């Protein structure tokens, strides 16, 4: 199976490569449109800031390439946020694959720290992406911005407010959490993604 990871100016994708290698996949790390289009699966991970990453995608014409992909695509963390319509982070227009907003967490009390950093549960799971995963499973999050609940939500998490922690529309999937850092649960989710019909 040919699996590609989108190469752009978002930090630390080493852990995604390592996680795929543990599943027996040696992924391509590329920004080449033909390579991305001809892959069986494309992963779009990322840590970073929406404005500068989105500007980079546009400059390198990766925005149109990602939007036009037909195979299963998985956005992770900032990758998921960039697949939405607009982010409050530096008032950034994003890819618009999911017609949703990305908002900043607004803590209600001092104990609610931003970013959310650590393990939280995913509930109301409804997708082949979560085959063999139980509601209430813990996965690893690091983020300051979130996607509110919406019609494309396939998982919900509660931090400050209940919000959408995974998305699905057509061939596009996305998780706010890091499956590559979520132990055996995350490994199963990545495996499910590789096996999606």
Partner 1 sequence: MLAKRIIPCLDIKNGETVKGTNFVNLRSAGDPVELGKSYSDQGADELVYLDITASYEGRKTFTDLVRRVAAELSIPFTVGGGINELSDVDRLLNAGADKVSVNSAALRRPELVNEITSHFGSQVCVVAIDAKYTEEKGWKCYVKGGREETDWGLFDWAREVCERGAGEILFTSMNHDGVKEGFANDALARLSDILSIPVIASGGAGKMEHFRDTFIQGKSDAALAASVFHFGEISIPDLKHYLKSEGINVRL
**Of 49, 77, 164, 168, which one is the catalytic site residue?**
77
**Range 70-89, binding partner 1 (CB under 8 A):** none
Please report whether residue 14 would count as binding partner 1 according to CB under 8 A: yes
How far is the C-alpha of 185 from the C-alpha of 74, rounded, in Å? 16
Residue with tokens 């995604």: 16
Please report whether residue 148 would count as binding partner 1 according to CB under 8 A: no
Asked whether the beta carbons of 78 and 16 are under 8 A apart, the reply is: no
Please report whether residue 117 would count as binding partner 1 according to CB under 8 A: yes
Among 58, 104, 113, 131, binds partner 1 (CB under 8 A): 113
- Going from the C-alpha of 77 to that of each of 21, 48, 102, 177, the distances in angstroms are 20, 9, 12, 6
Q: Is 178 a catalytic residue?
A: yes
Please report whether residue 11 would count as binding partner 1 according to CB under 8 A: yes
Nearer to partner 1, 30 or 121 (CB): 121
Please report whether residue 110 would count as binding partner 1 according to CB under 8 A: yes
* Residues in a beta bridge with 131: none
Please report whether residue 183 would count as binding partner 1 according to CB under 8 A: yes
Please report whether residue 52 would count as binding partner 1 according to CB under 8 A: no
Please report whether residue 48 would count as binding partner 1 according to CB under 8 A: yes
At its nearest, how many Å lie between partner 1 and the CB of residue 174?
A: 19
Among 90, 99, 118, 134, binds partner 1 (CB under 8 A): 118
How far is the C-alpha of 177 from the C-alpha of 175, rounded, in Å? 5
Q: 185-197 b/e with 16+ CB inside 10 Å = b? A: bbebbbebbbebe
Among candidate residues 128, 134, 116, the one with its CA nearest the CA of residue 178? 116
Q: Which residues contact 13 (CB under 8 A, 6 or more apart)?
A: 5, 29, 45, 46
Contacts to partner 1 by CB under 8 A: 11-12, 14-15, 18-19, 21-22, 47-49, 110-111, 113-121, 138, 140-142, 158-159, 180-184, 186-187
């Amino acid at each position: 199976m040919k699996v590609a990871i989108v190469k752009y100016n978002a930090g630390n994708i080493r852990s995604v490569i390592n996680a795929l290698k543990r599943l027996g996949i040696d992924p391509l790390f590329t920004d080449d449109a033909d390579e991305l289009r001809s892959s069986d699966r494309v992963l779009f991970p990322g840590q970073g800031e929406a404005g500068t990453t989105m500007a980079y995608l546009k400059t390198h014409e990766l925005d149109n390439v990602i939007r036009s992909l037909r195979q299963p695509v998985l956005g992770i963390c900032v990758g998921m946020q960039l697949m939405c319509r607009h982010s409050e982070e530096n008032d950034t227009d994003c890819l618009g694959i999911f017609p949703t907003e990305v908002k900043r967490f607004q803590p209600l009390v001092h104990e609610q720290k931003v970013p959310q950093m650590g393990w939280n549960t995913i509930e109301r799971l409804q997708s082949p992406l979560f085959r063999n995963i139980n509601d209430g499973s813990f996965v690893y999050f690091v983020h300051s911005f979130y996607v509110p609940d919406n019609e494309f939500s396939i998982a919900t998490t509660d931090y400050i407010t209940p919000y959408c922690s995974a998305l699905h529309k057509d061939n596009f999937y996305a998780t706010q959490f890091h499956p590559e850092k979520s132990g055996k649960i995350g490994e199963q989710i990545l495996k499910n993604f590789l096996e999606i019909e």
